[in-house]
Structure 1
Amino acid sequence: MAGAGWAPPRLEEFILTERLGSGTYATVYKAYRKKNAREVVAIKCVNKKSLNRASVENLLTEIEILKTIRHPHIMELKDFQWDSDNIYLIMEFCAGGDLSHFIRTRKILPEKVARLFLQQLACALKFLHDRNISHLDLKPQNVLLSSVENPHLKLADFGFAQYMSPWDEKHMLRGSPLYMAPEMVCHRQYDARVDLWSVGVILYEALFGRPPFFSKSFAELEEKIRSNRVIELPCRPRLSQGCRDLLQRLLERNPLQRISFEEFFTHPFVDMEHMPSAESLCKAVGQYISRAEELKTLVTSNNKTLLQQGNTARNILKEMSRDKPRLYAALEVASAAMAKEEEGKEDSDTLDLYQQSLGELLLMLAAEPVGRRRELLHSEIQTLMGRAEYLKEQIKMRDAQFMGKEMLSESVRSSCTLQ
């Protein structure tokens, strides 16, 4: 995208330094926030001139998904900005590089290490699956590590992600051939189960040092993908029976016979219920309350930014809707919900207002003809859905904190006593 001597773009709040990587239409830089020199971020710079219609859709979907989700194993979108040349995604910085580099420098990973990373990836995928989000480009290059010394997995790059249920079929070719499910390449017709195939390829590469369809040419790769041969697992290194069973079920060419999401999340090798060790629980107990408060402050700060960004478009839409009293009234209800939220009233009454306005606006959208007002209305509905989802999470978080603090402390005390 840029020549070797090309200087990074300038952003008022940040100092951009080394280039971390680049893709088809974006370059990622390490950066420091000027007002807080200790805060390091990664800034994804997208050159507007390089965007075609498909890449614009991908970028908007990536922003829409990342701005509404928070999870310890998904890279956080802190903010996004733009100028005349670029769109900037300000992301969480992961100092440990990506999983691909981690595997290459170690040749292969011990089963115990691969299992730990798999559990963390499964946690992220469970969170996404519960929200009908499919990543569609799972590969080691899109799995980042929080640090070098104590790496925690962070799922990144949601440029191809989509809201889709396990049965929604897509026909567009997405992702990287080495990690694509066969049905994506052969039929270009697929559903959410393609993510499970990609998990199998990542696990295979971690354990054996290269993906199952590793090839010296694209023709060879295509032949392997289109073949009906069962994926054979190497004899070395030796793996536990549970690990081999999971790999074979993930790398099932026929998506109808492939392991389901529910079976994957409950598989004995994944064993999500027993992820944290007693030791890690004991270490975490002192940090739990402060971290919860810190997270709440961070999310609230991001939330205020997102609220402010939607005001201009919302006001334009309201002006365009004065000839439709029912639509205008629904937008007024939405504005009332926004006002209550800006005042800090993040409660069930505010959530009810959001849901009331959404019920009306969705009916209005179905009847609205193609045009600028429909575009703004569609965007507003997406924003309001994000606000409603955010409020639900906040209310759940408060309820969980209120009900769970004593239970957590008791659980940790018991775990520590057993050591």
Structure 2
Amino acid sequence: MASMNRNQPKLQGFVFTEKLGCGSYATVYKAYRKGQQREVVAVKCVLKSSLGKKSVENLLTEIEIMKRIHHEHIVELKDFQWDDTYIYLIMEYCSGGDLSSFIRTKQALPERTVRVFLRQLASALLCLQSQNITHMDLKPQNLLLSNTYDPVLRLADFGFASYMTEDVFADTLRGSPLYMAPEIICERKYHAKVDLWSVGVIMFECLFGRAPFASRTFTELAEKIRSSRPIQIPDSVHISDSCRDLLVRLLQRDPEERINFSDFFAHPFIDLEHIPSADSLNKAKSIILKAIEKDTARDFKSAVQLYCESVQFFIPAIHYEKDQRRKDALRAKVQEYLTRAEELKVLLKPESQPTPSATPSTSQVNQPQTLPDVFLLEQLAAGHHNLQLALNVAHEAELQDAKENYESALKLYQDTLEQLIPILQSEPRGRRREVMNNEVQRYMGRAETIKQFLEIKRIPFKQESINEALTGEARKTACSIQ
């Protein structure tokens, strides 16, 4: 131990403890700041004598980027110092280790956990993209976890990062071969989309426990990357359609076919708009005020839509909240708004329709002037084959409507109108045209009522997320390292 201490760098005001990792020109140590609070940090010690001109440029870019970027999913650079031998980057300490170790411990991660980590990585990349920064070395080893009990992902190591707004050609490789985009290896071509390929490789490794091009040598790896065969998604692990879709779109060898950043951030599997954040609760409150306003004004359709929209922000707000009492209060509110939305859906349900008779009653036949338009039209349709066919479809629509089979009823009403409207347009003036017009208006009104109800009924709820949030199931159940 004494020998190890003599070989360690020394930085005034800090006590170095264990070595966390090392690279070609830097070693990272766990350390704590001397003083009453004894703040724990990670110190990246860069040996000056090992730096060439390019390495110095990379280091200066790394420091400049980390100084200006402040984001909850990017490792914080607290300070940097130097002496005659070393340059020291004093950074936030992440006690959970890196994602690579986490994957090895678990062998593979459940999709739910992968989604949590991938959304956090996407949030960090959105921040970088806003300033035209490309990381260039995304890999599990550079994704640190804040702790072991409720880990939050932090993006680290900006040694290869650069400002990039257009394609760049270079004669040296940047990054780690296993996670390097094909265009870098095959064409020595750099573009911001190289980060998205790396995200795909990381996602694949999280889900299946290995990288898609795992190889024993760089030559073997390069051959696999240059192959034109599409990447095979293993069937051994069940993944959702949205997860599979994103993975396939990320792992496109041709960068032109690879998903772009805007579509990546908006993809259903990522859905950055609804990621748990400090803004989630404010967004939810803003929407719920509008919902209550519409509810009070008896605009129930708009109210239901807004109640449901607010819940999609309340759920991430519950996940983000750390105080248990506030969590429980939010859960109670969400349940209240969900209940009100369901009550309004019932109010918006179409009024029940009586089951139509196939034929009018005897008393109605004896008094033609009292016949409902539908029966009168049936009598007036005698000899008009197409009109009779349309009325048969209308009759079936009303039967399904009366049984509250609204999906079928809407389709049949629409079929009826498609047949009746052309007939109406060519019908000469007279009693039959008048009655036909009345029936077309009635079918259109009923179809619109049903359509609006079905739209309300179909307003999406992420039921799994809602159940998880309302039952108080913690995210660490899926992510815990221990």
* Shorter-normalised TM range: 0.5 to 0.7
Cα distance in 2 for partners of 1:168, 1:222 equals 21
User: In 1, are the aligned partners of 2:167 and 2:189 still within 8 Å (CA)?
Assistant: no
User: In 2, are the aligned partners of 1:278 and 1:416 still within 8 Å (CA)?
Assistant: no
Deviations 1:169-202 (A, max 9, x none): 2424100110000000011012100000000000
User: In 1, are the aligned partners of 2:58 and 2:160 still within 8 Å (CA)?
Assistant: yes
User: In 1, are the aligned partners of 2:274 and 2:316 still within 8 Å (CA)?
Assistant: no
> 1:31 and 2:31 equivalent?
yes
**Corresponding residue for residue 168 of structure 1:** 167
Query: What residue identity is the alignment partner of 2:41?
Result: V
Query: What residue identity is the alignment partner of 2:317?
Result: L
User: In 2, are the aligned partners of 1:282 and 1:416 still within 8 Å (CA)?
Assistant: no
Cα distance in 2 for partners of 1:239, 1:69 equals 34
**Alpha carbons of structure 1 residues 91 and 231: separation in structure 2 relative to 1, 3 Å:** same
**Alpha carbons of structure 1 residues 153 and 164: separation in structure 2 relative to 1, 3 Å:** same
SS at match of 1:49: helix
Query: What residue identity is the alignment partner of 1:111?
Result: E
> 1:135 and 2:171 equivalent?
no
By how many angstroms is 1:220 displaced? 1.4
Cα distance in 2 for partners of 1:92, 1:149 equals 18
Deviations 1:230-274 (A, max 9, x none): 111111101101111100000000001110000100001111122
**Corresponding residue for residue 150 of structure 2:** 150
Query: What residue identity is the alignment partner of 2:149?
Result: E
SS at match of 1:10: coil
**Corresponding residue for residue 246 of structure 1:** 246
**Alpha carbons of structure 1 residues 413 and 46: separation in structure 2 relative to 1, 3 Å:** farther
**Alpha carbons of structure 1 residues 285 and 221: separation in structure 2 relative to 1, 3 Å:** closer
By how many angstroms is 1:413 displaced? 8.5
Query: What residue identity is the alignment partner of 1:46?
Result: V
User: In 2, are the aligned partners of 1:282 and 1:413 still within 8 Å (CA)?
Assistant: no
Deviations 1:130-150 (A, max 9, x none): 110000000000000000111
Cα distance in 2 for partners of 1:187, 1:210 equals 25
**Corresponding residue for residue 195 of structure 1:** 195
**Alpha carbons of structure 1 residues 417 and 72: separation in structure 2 relative to 1, 3 Å:** farther
SS at match of 2:49: helix
Cα distance in 1 for partners of 2:16, 2:97 equals 18
Q: Percent identity?
A: 58
Aligned CA-pair RMSD: 2.1
User: In 1, are the aligned partners of 2:32 and 2:38 still within 8 Å (CA)?
Assistant: yes
SS at match of 1:79: strand
**Corresponding residue for residue 266 of structure 1:** 266
**Alpha carbons of structure 1 residues 41 and 234: separation in structure 2 relative to 1, 3 Å:** same
Cα distance in 2 for partners of 1:135, 1:247 equals 20
User: In 2, are the aligned partners of 1:8 and 1:17 still within 8 Å (CA)?
Assistant: no
Q: What runs of 5+ residues in structure 1 fail to find an aligned partner?
A: 288-409
Cα distance in 2 for partners of 1:413, 1:125 equals 34
**Corresponding residue for residue 86 of structure 2:** 86
SS at match of 2:97: coil
Deviations 1:116-174 (A, max 9, x none): 00000000000100110000000000000000111000000000000112x33242410
**Alpha carbons of structure 1 residues 63 and 271: separation in structure 2 relative to 1, 3 Å:** same
**Alpha carbons of structure 1 residues 7 and 280: separation in structure 2 relative to 1, 3 Å:** farther
Any residues of structure 2 matched to 1:22-101 within 5 Å, and which? 22-101=22-101
**Corresponding residue for residue 119 of structure 2:** 119
Cα distance in 2 for partners of 1:100, 1:284 equals 25
Aligned length: 294
User: In 2, are the aligned partners of 1:285 and 1:412 still within 8 Å (CA)?
Assistant: no
SS at match of 1:67: helix
Cα distance in 1 for partners of 2:226, 2:5 equals 42
**Corresponding residue for residue 235 of structure 2:** 235
User: In 2, are the aligned partners of 1:104 and 1:209 still within 8 Å (CA)?
Assistant: yes
**Alpha carbons of structure 1 residues 40 and 105: separation in structure 2 relative to 1, 3 Å:** same
Query: What residue identity is the alignment partner of 2:231?
Result: I
User: In 1, are the aligned partners of 2:314 and 2:330 still within 8 Å (CA)?
Assistant: no
Cα distance in 2 for partners of 1:95, 1:114 equals 20
Cα distance in 2 for partners of 1:107, 1:101 equals 10
Query: What residue identity is the alignment partner of 1:20?
Result: L
User: In 2, are the aligned partners of 1:279 and 1:416 still within 8 Å (CA)?
Assistant: no
By how many angstroms is 1:72 displaced? 0.2
Deviations 1:61-114 (A, max 9, x none): 000000011000000000000000000000000000000000001000000000
SS at match of 1:95: coil
**Corresponding residue for residue 283 of structure 2:** none
Cα distance in 2 for partners of 1:107, 1:215 equals 18
Cα distance in 1 for partners of 2:24, 2:6 equals 17
**Corresponding residue for residue 106 of structure 1:** 106
By how many angstroms is 1:416 displaced? 7.3
By how many angstroms is 1:283 displaced? 7.0
By how many angstroms is 1:215 displaced? 1.0
**Corresponding residue for residue 281 of structure 1:** 317
User: In 1, are the aligned partners of 2:177 and 2:218 still within 8 Å (CA)?
Assistant: no
User: In 2, are the aligned partners of 1:138 and 1:198 still within 8 Å (CA)?
Assistant: yes
**Corresponding residue for residue 357 of structure 2:** none
Cα distance in 2 for partners of 1:271, 1:134 equals 21
**Alpha carbons of structure 1 residues 283 and 105: separation in structure 2 relative to 1, 3 Å:** closer
SS at match of 1:123: helix
Cα distance in 2 for partners of 1:88, 1:417 equals 53
**Corresponding residue for residue 183 of structure 2:** 183
Query: What residue identity is the alignment partner of 2:168?
Result: E
SS at match of 2:189: coil
Cα distance in 2 for partners of 1:268, 1:42 equals 35
By how many angstroms is 1:219 displaced? 2.2
**Alpha carbons of structure 1 residues 283 and 227: separation in structure 2 relative to 1, 3 Å:** closer
- The TM-score normalised by the length of structure 2 is 0.58
Deviations 1:280-338 (A, max 9, x none): 62475687xxxxxxxxxxxxxxxxxxxxxxxxxxxxxxxxxxxxxxxxxxxxxxxxxxx
**Alpha carbons of structure 1 residues 286 and 104: separation in structure 2 relative to 1, 3 Å:** closer
Between Structure 1 and Structure 2, whose CA radius of gyration is higher? 2
- The TM-score normalised by the length of structure 1 is 0.67
